[in-house]
Amino acid sequence: MEKSAAVTLRASGNAEQPWSLKMTAPLEPAIVCRDMERMLKFYTEVLGLTRVADVEAAPDIGAKIHISPHGYRIVRLQTPYGERIKLIQPKVLPTQSPVCDYVYERHGYAYLTFIVGNMEELLSRLSAQNLKIVSDGLVEVRKGVFALFILDPEGNFVEFVDYPDIASYRPDLVKK
């Protein structure tokens, strides 16, 4: 277990779980947005995600599953690695959440994390887009591990992390 003044890592238990979800695809987080076109531009043109689906849902469907009684538009975007993010715009716009100064001042789902291997290039690209970078530049959170937080166009926190050795962070992703 590595310990530093900035971060303490705790070993996770390897105990068997009595039950587990039978996942058939990677997790797909959703972002409810007020301005779909602005959010699409950010996630596709700035971050390079690909639009894979764009659907309008009728009010009765949204009401049945209790997400919106007015109908909504849902756009699925895919990362180069294969994960998907859903952008959702209800027909009746949601109230805007307050923007916090610090990520952990927000309750509930706080941010998306993109694990990248081109942090310097990414920082340059984000800076050129005049996006709100909330971190003090690239921050070394552990030896060789750099992180950066920004706000997307609607004030959602987005994290980018660059691990020097992805196998040490996620050995499950390394082919043996």
Full 3-state SS string of the chain: CCECCCCECCCCCCCCCCCCCCCCCCCCCEEECCCHHHHHHHHHHHCCCEEEEEEEECHHHHHHCCCCCCCEEEEEEECCCCCEEEEEEECCCCCCCCCCCCHHHCCCCCEEEEECCCHHHHHHHHHHCCCEECCCCCEEEECCEEEEEEECCCCCEEEEEECCCHHHHCHHHCCC
> What mean pLDDT is predicted for residues 54-80?
93
Contact 133, 140 (CB under 8 A): no
Kindly tell me if the per-residue pLDDT of 165 is higher than 70. yes
Widest CA span in the chain? 53
Lowest mean pLDDT among 23-27, 37-41, 46-50, 162-166: 23-27
Confidence of residue 2 (pLDDT cuts 50, 70, 90): very low
Confidence of residue 7 (pLDDT cuts 50, 70, 90): low
Confidence of residue 13 (pLDDT cuts 50, 70, 90): low
User: What confidence tens digit (pLDDT) does each residue in 103-119 have?
Assistant: 999 888 889 999 999 99
From CA 1, how far away is CA 158, in angstroms rounded?
Answer: 27
Confidence of residue 11 (pLDDT cuts 50, 70, 90): low
Kindly tell me if the per-residue pLDDT of 12 is higher than 50. yes
- Give me the pLDDT at residue 69, please: 93
Which has more pLDDT, 17 or 114? 114
Kindly tell me if the per-residue pLDDT of 123 is higher than 60. yes
Kindly tell me if the per-residue pLDDT of 4 is higher than 50. no
This model's pTM is above 0.75:
yes
Fold of 109-176: 2,3-Dihydroxybiphenyl 1,2-Dioxygenase; domain 1 (3.10.180)
> What mean pLDDT is predicted for residues 150-162?
95
Q: Give the residue range(s) of CATH 3.10.180.10 domains in the chain.
A: 26-93, 109-176
Q: Which CATH architecture describes the domain 26-93?
A: Roll (3.10)
